A and B are shown apart, each in its own frame.
Chain A
């Protein structure tokens, strides 16, 4: 392959390295700055051809004055001052308040027997993990509310959170015999879900203030965070220390929340794709 060879003028750079160098230089940086790259391009016909084709200005992109006028009329007619979105830290605080508030309501109604039976190490491990996971998910949600915002956390965060929770629970709790595994589990599920569901609704109300461009990711993250509220309430309330009970019936709420959030987002998007155009037609607000 000729284009993988070194440049003709004794340049040590390969065509592959030129591709990488081109990838690193946007238009704003101007032409390729590095001397060795330029030397290679001058000596290598294939690279010269590649650069020539790529730097041909893209034509046929003039917007007609009629279209500009139409856009301007539509938008300017609808102009009114708006209040910009609140700073990110305010939304983070709102998510934290919802989380803490619903957990508090939960322990007020259900009590804190679970807290009293936990060993100090278990308390630290479980609640530090729950708080960290909630903070990570909240941070990720806040970032998803604004288009083009730098995302420091992967959108696949919920499964990671779930695995971390499972590992922590598996490492600090032990297997115990439980003759009423399903019955006690169902009771826990029924106790935890009434806190997870309103949490999910409240998170959704807050998220609506922003522009959600990845509904599935946001649905899964918000659902997981709502599920964490249920898990936190159960950890404070339930005195069952059987590791399988906690993994399936307590941490399982996070999984349920994640799946519910994801499914709701998929359904919402499908409805939008199906009916969005018809609903939006003729409406601007």
Chain B
């Protein structure tokens, strides 16, 4: 009964109850937000293990900074702003470690190890081809379901900038699709139909 009621409560209300040390509300919040956060990290990071580590670190940071959530403010921008910076910090740490290990200046592009010869590219493999800022915006919009305004708040930018990045991401995705096998098939079908 309590669980069904909790599932109807908004994220904002759950966060407020989390601040007041309400254990069931905290559990509900973890259950509701974790899949979204994991999806966000999976689309940005190479492996599931890394994404799960980031999920753990993000919750640590959310827990330490839960007092900074202001009642009534939208929850998702607050959560994703923390998640985004956790990922950036983690990237810096890993880059530093890899610099020592590999003595290289730059990391290989994410997704370069993935099989690009498949005829129908997946969303993940396509998104991996995007620059980091565009990938982040597109993931928040399409995978996590944030609105333009929420993405703008989470990334500390304007709605216009988010729109521009998303638009560029689509243009780039089209180019990637164009070079992929599935696109070639589609083009052959068009030519054949004409």
Does the CB pair A148–B153 fall under 8 Å?
A: yes
Inter-chain contacts of A29 with B (CB < 8 A): 147
Q: Indicate if B163 sits at the interface (CB-CB under 8 A).
A: yes
Given contacts A53-B121, A76-B23, A81-B20, contact A46 B154 (CB under 8 A): no
Tell me which residues from 40 to 81 in chain B have a Cβ below 8 Å from any Cβ of chain A: 42-43, 48, 52, 55-56, 59-61, 63-71, 73-74, 76-81
Encode B9-37 as 1/0 by CB contact (under 8 A) with A.
00000000001110100110011001100
Inter-chain contacts of B151 with A (CB < 8 A): 26
Q: Indicate if B109 sits at the interface (CB-CB under 8 A).
A: no
Task: Select which of A2, A148, A155, A211 is within 8 A of B187 by beta carbon.
Answer: A2
Task: Select which of B38, B77, B163 is within 8 A of A23 by beta carbon.
Answer: B163
User: How many angstroms from the CA of A67 to the CA of B53 in the assembled complex?
Assistant: 10
Inter-chain contacts of A62 with B (CB < 8 A): 35, 38
Does the CB pair A81–B21 fall under 8 Å?
A: yes
Given contacts A84-B19, A211-B68, contact A63 B38 (CB under 8 A): yes
Tell me which residues from 171 to 220 in chain A have a Cβ below 8 Å from any Cβ of chain B: 210-211, 213-214
Q: Indicate if A3 sits at the interface (CB-CB under 8 A).
A: yes
* Interface-lining segment among A12-20, A128-136, A159-167, A227-235: A12-20
Task: Select which of A19, A75, A273 is within 8 A of B174 by beta carbon.
Answer: A19
Q: Indicate if A34 sits at the interface (CB-CB under 8 A).
A: no
Does the CB pair B27–A76 fall under 8 Å?
A: yes
Encode A1-30 as 1/0 by CB contact (under 8 A) with B.
011000000000001100110111011110
Task: Select which of B82, B89, B146 is within 8 A of A26 by beta carbon.
Answer: B146
Given contacts A23-B167, A76-B23, A284-B60, contact A45 B186 (CB under 8 A): yes
Q: Indicate if A279 sits at the interface (CB-CB under 8 A).
A: no
Inter-chain contacts of B189 with A (CB < 8 A): 45
How far, in Å, is A151 (CB) from chain B's closest CB?
6
Inter-chain contacts of A61 with B (CB < 8 A): 35, 38-39, 42
User: How many angstroms from the CA of A44 to the CA of B189 in the assembled complex?
Assistant: 12
Inter-chain contacts of B182 with A (CB < 8 A): 49
Q: Indicate if B141 sits at the interface (CB-CB under 8 A).
A: yes
Task: Select which of B39, B56, B81, B174 is within 8 A of A148 by beta carbon.
Answer: B81
Does the CB pair A84–B71 fall under 8 Å?
A: yes
Does the CB pair B174–A50 fall under 8 Å?
A: yes
- Chain B residues in the interface with A (C-beta under 8 A): 19-21, 23, 26-27, 30-31, 34-35, 38-39, 42-43, 48, 52, 55-56, 59-61, 63-71, 73-74, 76-82, 85, 89, 92-93, 96, 120-124, 126, 138, 141-143, 145-148, 151, 153-154, 156, 163-164, 166-167, 169-171, 173-174, 177-178, 182-183, 186-187, 189-190
